Every structure is written in C-alpha cells, then in structure tokens.
C-alpha cells in the first residue's frame, strides 16, 4: 500500500502563534509532496510543491514567508503556518507521489486548523 | 488560465447510474484523475486516464476524450455510501495537479 499520515489531525491556536503540520509517507519514499488548502465545501487549492532537498515551489498568491515548507527527507515534509490569523483557519491536506509518473497521489488525512 | 469545469451537484437514486462530466482547459495535459472525498475526510484516488477511452474499475468507470478535452466518471449500482464529493484533476505542465471545484453527489433511497 501507500500510506500518508499527517499530524496533528486537529489544532487550535491563538492568533499570532505558529503551527507546524507534519506529513509523512509511511511505507514509501515520496519524491514529491504537495500541500493543499481546502475551505468548507470548496475544492482543493494547491499551495506549494515540495521536493526533497530543494526549496518548495509556491503557487501564485501563497505567501512563502507565511507558509514555510521544509522537505527534510524522502518521507517527511512540514508546513509551518507562521503568525497565524483567523483567516488561516482551514483544512490543510498533504499528498505524496511515489514517482514522477504521478498516476496517483496519496493523500494524508488532513489537518483541521482553527485560529482563535 | 487553467480551469476544470464540473457540475456542482448531482442527485440520483440508489441503484441507478450517474455520470459526472468534466471539461478542462490547461497548459499541457498528461492525464485526468478522479478522486472521491467524504465530508471531513481526505480525497481518495478512484481512477486515471492518460489515453482516450474507457477505464473500468468495479462499479466505477472513467472516460477520456483528449480531442474534446472532456472526461467523465460513471458510477453504477449506486449505494448510499457513494454520497460524497467527486473531483476531477488534471496533471498539467510543470507536474502540477489542478483540481476541479468538485461535484457533490446526493443519493436518494
């Protein structure tokens, strides 16, 4: 199989603080990981593409200084939401691919972030 | 720009067949995927078409016509558990995966 985990599943933080979300591929090495954001009843919006050992590629409109992505190894990518504000409250989902054929993305279970 | 169009909602009856269409306009095209997402959950992969034609996987089938920039997901023998959102997604240039806005499928008993 191909399992991707995310931690934490839910987090509540105060405005102005930072939150780190981890995404791990448990039984395979992920050449590339993606971070998405999803608002209620809306589609998945790609935030950034993360490749191991290199800088993440951010989508237009996504602040790279606010959403820090680190792809430390072939099985771990982290997203840090810095100086969080209530408008950052959302469902954050990561996905990983095994190879560049990219026939299938394996999604993590998501992290529900609530900023108060 | 890049866009995928799919209906926002579809309603069908348990046991019936439903088709969810997707048209796309993207910079480059390598394949069309379909994902299912239940409320509060993460998307799960259903199917992938890189070439024209029909791919069948159990009760679900997916079709692609590259010349028409069009595909569809066909769900047969609908079950209540199939109530979910369905997203089409295109792998486009620069290896980006672009998702449609999703189709919410309501199934009536």
pLDDT over 80 (residue B42): yes
Q: Does B90 touch chain A (CB under 8 A)?
A: no
List, as one string, the DSSP characters of A17-48.
--EEEEEEESSS--SEEEEEEE-TTS-EEEEE
pLDDT over 90 (residue B38): yes
Shortest distance between the Cα of A64 and any Cα of chain B, in A, equals 18
Which pLDDT does position A101 carry in this prediction?
Answer: 66
Q: Does A5 touch chain B (CB under 8 A)?
A: no
Asked if residue B4 lies in contact with residue B97, where contact means CB atoms within 8 angstroms, the answer is no
Counting one residue from chain A and one from chain B, the pairs whose CB atoms sit within 8 A come to 49
Instruction: Name the stretches of chain A with pLDDT < 50.
Output: none
Asked if residue A13 lies in contact with residue A24, where contact means CB atoms within 8 angstroms, the answer is no
Which pLDDT does position A100 carry in this prediction?
Answer: 67
Q: Which of A45, A103, A106 sits opposite B48 (nearest CB)?
A: A103
B57-97 residue pLDDT tens: 899 999 999 999 999 999 999 999 999 999 999 987 766 78
Q: Does A14 touch chain B (CB under 8 A)?
A: no
Q: Is A75 strand, coil or helix? A: coil
Task: Please enumerate in sequence order all residues whose Cβ is within 8 A of that of A39, keeping only pairs 6 or more positions apart, or say none.
Answer: A90, A91
Mean local confidence (pLDDT), B24-49: 90
Shortest distance between the Cα of B107 and any Cα of chain A, in A, equals 17
Which pLDDT does position B1 carry in this prediction?
Answer: 67
pLDDT over 90 (residue B36): yes
Q: Does B64 touch chain A (CB under 8 A)?
A: no
Which pLDDT does position A30 carry in this prediction?
Answer: 87
User: Choosing among B42, B98, B102, which should be mutated to test the A contact, i.e. which has the most A CBs within 10 A?
Assistant: B42
Shortest distance between the Cα of A44 and any Cα of chain B, in A, equals 6
């Amino acid at each position: 199989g191909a399992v991707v985990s995310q931690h934490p599943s839910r987090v509540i933080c105060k405005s102005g603080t930072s939150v780190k979300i981890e995404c791990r591929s448990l039984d395979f090495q992920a050449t590339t990981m993606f971070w998405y954001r999803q608002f209620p009843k809306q589609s998945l919006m790609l935030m950034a593409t993360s490749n191991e050992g290199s800088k993440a590629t951010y989508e237009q409109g996504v602040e790279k200084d606010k959403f820090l992505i680190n792809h430390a190894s072939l099985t771990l990518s982290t997203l840090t939401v810095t100086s969080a504000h209530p408008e950052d409250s959302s469902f954050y989902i990561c996905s990983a691919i095994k190879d560049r054929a990219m026939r299938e993305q394996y999604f993590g279970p998501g992290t529900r972030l609530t900023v108060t | 720009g890049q866009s995928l169009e799919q209906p926002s909602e579809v309603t069908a009856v348990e046991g019936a067949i439903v088709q969810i269409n997707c048209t796309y306009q993207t910079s480059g095209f390598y394949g069309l995927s379909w994902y299912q997402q239940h409320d509060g959950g993460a998307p799960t992969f259903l199917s992938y078409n890189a070439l024209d034609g029909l791919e069948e996987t159990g009760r679900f089938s997916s079709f692609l016509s590259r010349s028409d920039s069009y595909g569809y997901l066909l769900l047969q023998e609908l079950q209540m558990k199939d109530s979910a959102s369905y997203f089409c997604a295109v792998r486009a240039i620069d290896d980006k995966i672009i998702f449609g806005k999703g189709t919410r499928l309501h199934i009536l008993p």
